Structure 1
């Protein structure tokens, strides 16, 4: 039996939204199950709620005014006994006239078949000098590229994608279920075309209908100066091509810096250790030091001790995206001879005697005391 939602709410067909809302509130207060638990009244309350749901929604109300009950089963009667459509039109034709796009709801379209490709992560090993000053590298990695045979369409030569016969190109299918409010229509992606609205009857033999193939490709990449171990560089739009000719993903280059035999990198500074003989440390000497810029001569001052640091400014790595460079810090270690011949030992004893060091008293400072003083401090602190 045809339902007139205007009559159910007791409003005119040209009633405003405010009038519809007031009518619903008045009836809801009278018919609410908490007020009238009678089964007949409860059914009447559900009718009122259903009528308000249709007339308070602009799209559903317009659909109802065109002769289609949104809650009626597909092909069922609506107001005036239209039998699924005004003036004998099929339900899908009315949906098409109202929503556009072949019975598809406004704002919905078949799922875009050209999806974005995956991003690719590539590890690239560099020497210290390459990370310090930058370098251009050829990087080879597996990826997905557009199929040359079908040019990304996924179809065999002479064929094309066809409209899905299950969803009629809408990319979704509808299902009517019954709830306490009446008939409810739900939609979901079409299982046959996966929401794309079209299918491939004759797929391309080279890409199996995906529109892309996998290959190893080589890219020339510019590595900026100052990158460090673990730095990631993003190359936008250089990754895998998406299915069906979709846009490329990105490439993320992860920098792996190889260990250097001499230098240790800490930030943009470089550190190294130079070991000098005891006599050279005492008398001073000229040393040849390796740097990233080549060999350099430095002067070792007389009386240099172990642990002293000689700094060569701007001999480190370039700053990433900034001007300037870090420093090279040279840590000095003084080497004491372990084995002496008789003549060397005699000369060294004579040297110690001249300096009064043949019976050294020893020098202690806080934090470097002897065993007994450290034990005393430990127990005395309690």
Structure 2
């Protein structure tokens, strides 16, 4: 259950907007990242305070919260349960506590995922997205893929120089007078886009930003057990930024090809085995396909259509390493659609024979019971 916003800020439900703002500033200063470097508990309290203030500091949202509580937003308003981004906090509320730390973004902090000083003046290049198709066998074993990627890079003959507007910091500051005193906030420099550098000399074949499209072979390690639709990230293999910064990431969308014989259900696999009347009555040895090759299984005499044979650990590995699934073999007795004279005479003689009359036992599960067991 989420903490009450009033309790987070340590105020009563009748608190005025000025009291709410004062309480938030007090908490923001106390748990500010500059004062608590590397302290995860302080980071959590810092984010929760911002989440509470974002709602209570807005009259309309506060009315909804007082009436319906957290359900008033259903995760679509506020900050969705404290999952705030530090840049969001400083961009929206930096003027509230900026004077205490010389700006909305500190010049000396490098924690909380690199959202502050360690990244100050550094921009990030754009991400790239590609699709990678895998066979079920590759999913079972994991695979290293080498993919040719076209990405923007800075050639050696492109040079940059320090931005004269922000002096290389990537930020410009603004000082305003408020009821709480002089407040200083920082925002990305519009002249250099926050990179701290501007283009000095364009290299040959580059675009307006001094970047050149190049092809590069990227090695992607895909772990066993991935599923269709999953996304993997290869850090630093996206486009390079303008000036001083870090490259974007390569986002890999996984597509799993449909297998000819096997159907996937999480870590389990399903296989349809068709056998004849004779094989069902006499028993048989049948070869079936698995993700690790073909294996032979024994079909017992008198097997019924719909019986499921379970081959342990013949499925797919769990992505998080929690074991391996099973291969479920579904037995289907094939009824011939045409009979020759001799075959027809044989079956006509069997009509009424007690061996050919259905006689299900209580231990014989119905089709619906088998389906229920399969999904439970």
The interval holding the TM-score normalised by the smaller chain is: 0.5 to 0.7
* Mapped contact 1:284–1:300 kept (Cα < 8 A): yes
- In the TM superposition, residue 317 of structure 1 has moved relative to its aligned partner by 1.1
Match of 1:220 in 2: 219
Deviation at 1:116, TM superposition (A): 0.7
Matched with 2:145 is: 137
Matched, 1:312 2:311: yes
Structural mapping, 1:242-257, within 5 Å? 242-257=241-256
1:114·1:243 contact (CA, 8 Å) conserved in 2? no
- Displacement of 1:239 in angstroms is 2.1
Q: Aligned in 2, Cα 1:169/1:306: closer, same or farther, shift over 3 Å?
A: closer
**Partner Cα distance (2:333, 2:315) in 1:** 24
Q: Which residue of 2 aligns with 1:31?
A: none
The structure-2 alpha-carbon separation of the partners of 1:121 and 1:107, relative to structure 1 and needing over 3 Å to count, comes to: closer
Q: Which of the pair has more CA radius of gyration? A: 1
Q: Distance in 2 between matches of 1:293 and 1:197?
A: 54
Say whether the 8 Å CA contact 2:122–2:170 is kept in structure 1.
no
Partner of 2:285: 286
Measure, in 1, the Cα distance between the counterparts of 2:359 and 2:169: 93
Per the alignment, residue 125 of structure 2 pairs with: 117
Distance (whole Å) between structure 1 residues aligned to residue 171 and residue 144 of structure 2: 49
SS in 2 for 1:282: helix
The correspondence of residues 88-127 of structure 1 with structure 2, limited to 5 A, is 114-127=122-135
Query: Closer, same or farther in 2 for the Cα pair 1:282/1:115, shift >3 Å?
Result: same
Deviation of 1:190 after TM superposition, in Å, equals: 7.1
Name the counterpart of 2:342.
Answer: 343
Residues 356, 257 of structure 1: alpha-carbon distance in 2 compared, 3 angstrom cutoff: closer
The CA RMSD over aligned residues, in Å, is 4.1
How do 1:1-382 and structure 2 match up within 5 A?
A: 114-150=122-158, 153-154=159-160, 161=161, 164=164, 200=199, 202-208=201-207, 210-322=209-321, 324-355=323-354
> Aligned to 2:321, what secondary structure does the other structure show?
coil
Does structure 2 retain, via aligned residues, the 8 Å contact 1:116–1:241? Answer: yes
Rounded to whole Å, the distance in 1 between the matches of 2:167 and 2:143 is 55
CA distance in 1, matches of 2:163, 2:208: 15
Q: What is the alpha-carbon distance in structure 1 between the residues aligned to residue 173 and residue 331 of structure 2?
A: 80
- The alignment covers a number of residue pairs equal to 250
Displacement of 1:168 in angstroms is 8.3
How far apart, CA to CA, are the structure 1 residues paired with 2:262 and 2:280?
22
What is the rounded CA distance, in whole Å, between the counterparts of 2:328 and 2:169 in structure 1? 69
Q: Return the alpha-carbon distance in structure 1 between the equivalents of residues 175 and 296 of structure 2.
A: 88
**Shift in alpha-carbon separation, 1:247–1:300, aligned structure 2, 3 A:** same
Mapped to 2, the partners of 1:361 and 1:281 lie a distance apart of 14
Distance verdict in 2 for CA 1:223–1:328, change over 3 Å? same
Structure 2 stretches lacking a partner, 5+ long: 1-102, 108-118, 177-183, 367-376
Q: Return closer, same or farther for 1:284/1:241 CA change in 2, 3 Å cut-off.
A: same
| Aligned residue number for residue 88 of structure 1 | none
Secondary structure at the aligned position of 1:347 is classed as helix
Residues 241-265 of structure 1 show CA distances to partners (whole Å, capped at 9, x for unaligned) of 1111420122221110000000001
TM-score by length of 2: 0.55
